A and B are shown apart, each in its own frame.
Chain A
Amino acid sequence: MTTASYVGIEVEVNEEGFFTDPSAWREEMAPIIAKEMGIDELTDEHWQVIRFVRDRYLQTGGGPSVRVLGKTSGVAVKDLYRLFPKGPAKQAAKIAGIPKPVGCI
């Protein structure tokens, strides 16, 4: 296990940089994590997705797939990839401080 430091707070992350303890996450950390992945600015659209995946994780214990995001987050699959070019489910989960979603779809 490694640690990362965001807004002066040490958090535990796995080898891919996903939070191991989602309760350690703060909203102020999101833009910094995003920047590390090449997303320079978090727009309202980004936040809509980030909040959605985090809520979903807190309710179900798992991050949603791209298919589920496209159908229920209010942002279409095409736009999800525009916002998170390196994979919406994975990138949004990392920015939202939740574990990497499992599943192949």
Chain B
Amino acid sequence: MTDYIQKISIIVSQGSLEGIYPGLIMANGARSEGIEANLFFTFFGLDAINKSRQDHIKLSSVGNPGLHFPTWLGGFPGVSKIMTQYMESKMEKLDIPPIPEFIEMISDTGAGLYACKASVDLFGMSKDDFIDQLDGIITVGDFYQLASGGQMLFT
């Protein structure tokens, strides 16, 4: 018996910059500690692995109290873009890769990348919409089986 976490399964359910990064950082961090990791992208989280969308992920500038500015200001055209660029430049300085590079790297670490079948059907997507590193489009039941024997994180 050991007290260490051996395996983690992380669900990414949101499509914003601040919704996607935490799951990626947790997955990459798990692999760098030698922990087995699987990522399951569902709902808007699918954008993170969508070929044409993963390079255009934006920070939510509306309804995001953490930004500490008025909601009406966040709704102005271009504010989300500016805030996203600001965050991206800060992250690059901290050696945090852009989302497409990060996901490719996480795949290279040996972590599994899976898309939620119900969400793929809901949004009318198919395998061709996703990056080559995707390990499969699977059901919730399949994911639970993959997650067996480990811990789970919902983000």
Contact = CB atoms under 8 A, between A and B. Distances in A.
Interface extent on B, as a size class?
10 to 19
B33 interface: yes
Interface string B73-110: 00000000000000000000011110000000100111
Given A91-B34, A103-B95, 4 more contacts: A81-B109, A87-B31, A90-B34, A105-B28
A70 B33 contact: no
A104 B33 contact: no
Given A68-B95, A105-B25, A105-B95, A87 B33 contact: yes
Interface of A: 65-68, 70, 76-78, 81, 85-91, 103-105
Contacts of B94: 103, 105
Contact of A77 (B95, B96, B108): B108
B70 interface: no
A65 B95 CA distance: 9
Interface string B26-65: 0011011110000000000000000000000000000000
Interface of B: 25, 28-29, 31-34, 94-97, 105, 108-110
From DSSP, what is the main secondary structure of chain A's interface residues? helix
Contacts of A91: 34
Which 6 pairs, one residue from A and one from B, show the smallest C-beta to C-beta distance? A86-B34, A77-B108, A78-B108, A87-B34, A87-B32, A81-B110
Contacts of B110: 78, 81
B146 to A, nearest CB: 19
Contact of A90 (B32, B96, B109): B32
A85 B34 contact: yes
A10 B95 CA distance: 36
